[in-house]
Structure 1
């Protein structure tokens, strides 16, 4: 699903809580990286979009979703 290089995938972490990021899909079907921690509030997680294979790990641009 993700076009991120495997070696880079291994070291990426959520910039807010430093938990692991896993591959996911956004509401429109685009690839995202989903935080495995609840760093966006109780029961909420952050999703980071991937633009042309480059993860956008900016907390202010992350989408939140229910865990």
Structure 2
């Protein structure tokens, strides 16, 4: 789903909170997003970053926090 992001950007982008790898994901409303691959700050907690016009919004304050 996040193929709209340029490959070079996809390889270097990391979570600004935990510096972890980001993987393709889907938000509850069905929109593509990048999600932390591992726990972020607390056990079982991760963040999802929305994608606007092919650009991931990597602002921690605007990330969706969810539990796994």
Q: TM-score range by the shorter chain?
A: over 0.9
- Secondary structure (helix, strand or coil) at the match of 1:32 reads strand
More helix by share: 2
Runs of 4+ more than 4 Å apart: none
Q: What's 1:39 paired with?
A: 40
What root-mean-square deviation, in Å, do the aligned CA atoms of Structure 1 and Structure 2 show?
1.0
Query: Contact 1:40–1:64 (CA<8 Å) still a contact in 2?
Result: no
Count the aligned residue pairs. Answer: 67
Unaligned runs of 5+ in 1: none
Instruction: Quote the offset at 1:65 in angstroms.
Output: 1.1
